[in-house]
Structure 1
Amino acid sequence: MARRDLTGAVDFAFLESFAAGDQGVVDEVLALFREQARMWSMMLDPASEGWRDAVHTLKGTARGIGAHALGDVCQAAEAEGAQGLDAVRDALDAALADIAAYAHERALQSLKTPR
C-alpha cells in the first residue's frame, strides 16, 4: 500500500504538525493508537457495560491523531446510544486501514537509498 491507498480517514498532516514534524513521535502515537484500538474494539458491543467509556475515550484519541470522522461518529454514538456502534466500528476500521497504509509507506521510504 502506498499514499494512494489512504482514504482520508486520518489527517496525517494534522498529526505531523501536532508532533512538530517529529516522525518518531508520530510513529509512537500511531502505534499506541493501534494497540489501544484492539482493546476498545472488544468493548464496542452494546452488551458490554463499558461501551460508552470506550466510545468516549476513542472520540478524544481519534481527534488527537486527526481521525476526525471517527471522533464525529463516536460523538454521535454517545448521543444516539448503542445503535451508533456499527458506525463507530466502521470508522475505526477505516482509520486503522489508513494508519496501516501510512506505516507501510513510511517503511518503504526508509528502504529507499538516498540519491
Structure 2
Amino acid sequence: MAPSSMARVSGRAGPQAPIDLVQLATNTLGNRDLEVQVLHLFKSQSCSTLERLEQETDTTVRLDLVHTLKGSARAIGAGRVADVCENLEGRLRQTSDAATEGLTAAVDEANSYIRDLLTG
C-alpha cells in the first residue's frame, strides 16, 4: 500500500499518528511490499519484546531488549515508541525495576495503528 493510501485508510496522519508514514516510506525506499513486511515484523517483535521484558530480571538483558525495540521503532517511524524506549533506558540505568506501562501503551497504540493500516 502506498503511504498516502495508508494514511487515508488509517484516518490519522501527520504528527499525531503513531507511525510516520513518510519516514517508513523513506526507510523502505518506497517499496510497498517491504513496508508491509517491516510493519508485520514490528508488530510481532514488539509483542514478544514486551512479554520478555515483563519476565526478565537481568537489567542488562532488559536494557538490550528496550534498546533493540527503540531501533525497530525508529526504523518504521514509530517516534513515540522510540522516545518511550529512550526514557525507559535511562530509568533502567537507575533502577532495575523501572515500570514499563508507558512502553506497553505506546506499543499498543502503534500496533493498533499498524493493524488498521494493514487491514484497511
- The TM-score, its normalising length taken from structure 2, stands at 0.76
Supply the RMSD in Å over aligned alpha carbons.
1.9
Aligned to 1:100: 115
How far did residue 17 of structure 1 move? 2.1
How far did residue 40 of structure 1 move? 0.2
How far did residue 84 of structure 1 move? 4.4
Q: Deviating runs (4+, > 6 A) in structure 1? A: none
Match for residue 19 of structure 1 among 6, 13, 28: 28
Stretches of structure 2 lacking an aligned partner (at least 5 in a row): 1-8
Aligned to 1:53: 64
Stretches of structure 1 lacking an aligned partner (at least 5 in a row): 106-115
Aligned to 2:4: none
Distance 2:63 2:54 in 1: 10
Aligned to 2:19: 10
How many residues are aligned here? Answer: 104
Deviations 1:58-100 (A, max 9, x none): 0011011000111011000000124341111111111111111
Distance 1:102 1:85 in 2: 26
How far did residue 51 of structure 1 move? 2.2
| Percent identity of paired positions between Structure 1 and Structure 2 | 28
Aligned to 2:41: 32
Deviations 1:15-67 (A, max 9, x none): 01221221001011111111212210112327532322211110011011000
Give the match's secondary structure for 1:44. helix
- The TM-score, its normalising length taken from structure 1, stands at 0.79
- The answer to whether the Cα contact below 8 Å between 1:44 and 1:89 also exists between their aligned partners in 2 is no
